[in-house]
Structure 1
C-alpha cells in the first residue's frame, strides 16, 4: 500500500491509467465504466485507511479528486449499471467524515479544507450536475465560522449571477436557498433562523427539516399540521417505496407521538394506498390492543376493494389465505402462474382449469416460435404440478386446432416427451 502522503498522486495515477485502459475508440462502455469504478473504489479504500491514520487533509484531497473524476465520468461514459453512482455516494460519505472531523480541529486546517472544497466546486465538471455541486458545498458548512461563511456565500452569489440562462433555474435557486439556510443555522442555531425556514416551506427539504424540528421539540401538532398541508398540496400523490413520502413521514410523527389511534389510522391509509409493508405494522398495532382477529377480515375486505390488487394478493400470500387468493385469481388471472404455485397443492383441479383457459388464450394469440415456446413452457409447468392429464388434453387440442403451425407442432413434440 502507498504511503498516505502520496495518496493523492496514487489516486491520480490509478484513475487516469484506468480511464486510458478502458477507453475504446474514444468511448467508455458500461463494462469499461464498471472497471474504472472498481479502481475508484480501491482508491477510496486507501482514502479511508488514510483517514483512520488521522491523515484527514490527505484523505479529503483524494476523496474530492475521486468525486470530481466520477462526475466527469458521468458526462462521458455509459454509467447505466449504477456503479458510478455508488462511487460518488461513497466519496461524499468520506468527504463528510473528513470535514466533520476537521471541523473540530484548528482554524488553519478548517480554512484549508474549505478552500479545497470551494476550488473543486468551481470546476466545470459540475456544470450540469448542480445537485452534486451543492452537495459538495454542503459538506463544507460544518467548517465555517463567520469569516469562512462569508467566503462560501460569495461563491454562492457567483453561481447565481447567470441563473436565468441556466437549464433549471428554479431548481438551482432552491439548492442555493437550502444551502444558505443550513449555513445560517450552523452559525446562529435553529431558533435564530426559524423565520428563514418557514419562509421557504414550499421547498420539500426545508419542510422536512421543519417537521423534524417540531418532532424533536415534541410539538407533534405542528409536525402533523405541516405534513397534512403537504399531503393536500400533492393532491393524493403517493410514493409508497419512498420513506420521505409525506404519508410515511406523518406516520413516523404519530409513532414518535405515541398516539396509537392515529398510528392505526395512518397505517391503514398507507396500506390501502398499496404499501403492503404496512400490513405487518397494522397487525402489530391491532395485536397490542387485542383486536387483531376481529379486525383482520374487515381489513382484508377493505383491501380487496381498493385498486391495488397486487398489494391485496401479496397480503393473502403472506397470511396463507388460500381460499381468498383463489377467488382473486379466478376473478382476474393476472400473473396466474406465479400465484398458482401457492394454490395448486390445495386446489389442483381449479388451478388446472384456470391454467388451461389461460394457455388456450395465449396459444390462440401466439404468432411465432418465441411465443409458442412460452406456451409450451406453461404446459411444462402444468406437468410439474402433476396436471399431466390437462396438459395432454391441451396438446391434443392444439395439434387438432392448429395443424398448419409447424413451429408450434415442433415445440409441442418436446412437451409430449415429458408426459
Structure 2
C-alpha cells in the first residue's frame, strides 16, 4: 500500500523535480550511481559497470581489516543481486549474450568473496544458484549462433584459476554447456577439452577424488547429449568399476527399457559396493520400483522394509511406512509390524512414528522410558492411559533440570517444563513441583523469582 502511494506521488512529479529527486538519492547513496548507469546505459562497458557496482557494495560492507562479517553478507551482496536482476531483464528481452556476461561476472565475484567474507548465511550459494538458473535459461533459449558464443564465454570462465578449490562451481558451469552443444561435433570437442583441463587442475589439488568423480559423471551426461543415450551408457558401463556412482543411472536406464534382469543385477552390484553407502536409499527405491513394475509383491515389501530401516528423513519414514503397510493383508499385518518393532530401538523415530500412527501407547511409553525427554512431546497422548507413570516421568525430568540449571536462562527453561507438566497432569502437580523446588533450592534467588511468576501462571490454568 505504501509502495503504491509512493509510486503515485512520484508519478505526479515534473521532469525537473524527478531529476532533482534522483540526484538527491544518488548523492545520499553513491552506490545508486552505478546502478542507474547499469540499468539505463546503452550496454557499453556494461560488465565493467556491473563489477564496479558489486565492488561498491562489498567495500561499504567491509569492517576491520577489510573483512565482511556474516551479519553484513546480505548487504554486501546487494550489488550482486541488482546485477542479477538486470541480467534477467536482458534475458527477458532476448539479449542472452549480454545477460550471460553479467551472470559470469556475478559468479566470479561471488566466488572471490569467499576469500574475505564469512559466508555462514549462504549468500554465495544463493547467488550461484540464481546465476546457474539464469545461465541455463539463456543456454536453452538462445538461437543456435548465439549458443556458440555462450559456450565460448562459459568455458572461458570455467577455466579460470579462481575455481581451483571450489570445484562445485566449476562443475555446474560446465554442466550449463549441455544445452548449448546442440549436437555439434566441434562444440562437443570443446566441452571435452574443458573437462580434460578441469580434471588436470583437480589432480594438482590435495584431494582430487571428489572432483574427478563428478567430472566423469558429467562426461557421461555430455555423451548422452552429443551422441545419444546408448553412447553415454556404454561409457558408464565401461567405467563402472572405477566410478560406481554410474550404478544408479544404469539401473534406472534398464528399468525404463524393461530389461528387468539387467536392472536387478545392477542394483545388486550397487548394494554390494562399499563406496556406494551414500546412495543406498536411492538404490533401495530403485529396487522397490523394479519389484512394483514386475508385480513381485513380496520382494517389494522387503525393499520397503529395508528402506524403513535405512531411512534418514521423517518425511521418508511417513511415505515409505504407508506404502509398506498398504502391501500387507489384514491377516499378516500385526505379525509384520511386531517383527519390525523388534528390530528397532524403543526411542527410534520410526518406532515413535509407528506408536502414534497405529495408536499403540505401549510403544510410545517404551520410547519415553528409553529417552525420558520424549515425555515432553508424548505426555499428552500417554497421560489418559498411564497417568501415574507420566506424572512420575515429568517429576524426574524437573528434578534433573533443577540439578543442572545454574543461571536465569536455564531457570526459565525449567519453569516452562513445570508449566507444561501442569498442563498435562493438572495444576496440582505443577503447584507441588514449585513447592518442592522452593524447599530444595531456597538460596537460588533468580530461581525463586522465576518460580513466583510460574506459580501465578499455573494458578490461572483451568
TM class by shorter-chain length?
0.7 to 0.9
1:212 counterpart residue number: 252
Query: 1:270-285 to 2 correspondence within 5 Å?
Result: 270-274=307-311, 276=314, 277-284=316-323
More helix by share: 2
1:88 counterpart residue number: 128
Contact 1:30 1:80 in 2 (8 A): yes
Report SS of the residue matched to 2:131: helix
Relative contact order: is structure 1 or structure 2 higher (C-alpha 8 Å, sep ≥ 6)? 1
C-alpha distance in structure 2 between counterparts of 1:383 and 1:283, whole Å: 35
Unaligned 5+ runs, structure 2? 1-35
C-alpha distance in structure 1 between counterparts of 2:275 and 2:342, whole Å: 23
Tell me: CA distance 1:38–1:254, structure 2 relative to 1, closer, same or farther (3 Å): farther
1:46 counterpart residue number: 86
C-alpha distance in structure 1 between counterparts of 2:412 and 2:107, whole Å: 48
The one of 367, 386, 398 aligned to 1:328: 367
Higher Rg: 2
Contact 2:58 2:77 in 1 (8 A): no
1:305 counterpart residue number: 343
C-alpha distance in structure 2 between counterparts of 1:31 and 1:407, whole Å: 33
C-alpha distance in structure 1 between counterparts of 2:189 and 2:328, whole Å: 59
2:98 counterpart residue number: 58
Tell me: CA distance 1:346–1:167, structure 2 relative to 1, closer, same or farther (3 Å): same
Tell me: CA distance 1:267–1:75, structure 2 relative to 1, closer, same or farther (3 Å): farther
TM-score with structure 2 setting the length: 0.77
Contact 1:224 1:253 in 2 (8 A): yes
Report SS of the residue matched to 1:335: helix
1:199 positional shift: 2.4
1:171 positional shift: 2.6
1:281 positional shift: 3.6
Of residues 131-140 and 39-48 in structure 1, the stretch that sits farther from structure 2 once superposed is 39-48
Report the number of matched residues.
Answer: 412
1:136 positional shift: 0.6
Query: 1:293-372 to 2 correspondence within 5 Å?
Result: 294-295=332-333, 298-299=336-337, 302-303=340-341, 305-307=343-345, 309-344=348-383, 347-372=386-411
Contact 2:73 2:119 in 1 (8 A): yes
Alignment root-mean-square deviation, CA: 3.2
C-alpha distance in structure 1 between counterparts of 2:446 and 2:54, whole Å: 53
Answering whether residue 285 of structure 2 is matched by residue 248 of structure 1, we say yes
Answering whether residue 103 of structure 2 is matched by residue 74 of structure 1, we say no
Query: 1:20-419 to 2 correspondence within 5 Å?
Result: 20-25=59-64, 26-102=66-142, 105-106=143-144, 108-144=145-181, 145-161=184-200, 163-201=202-240, 202-234=242-274, 237=277, 245-255=282-292, 259-274=296-311, 276=314, 277-284=316-323, 286-287=325-326, 291-292=329-330, 294-295=332-333, 298-299=336-337, 302-303=340-341, 305-307=343-345, 309-344=348-383, 347-385=386-424, 387-418=426-457, 419=459
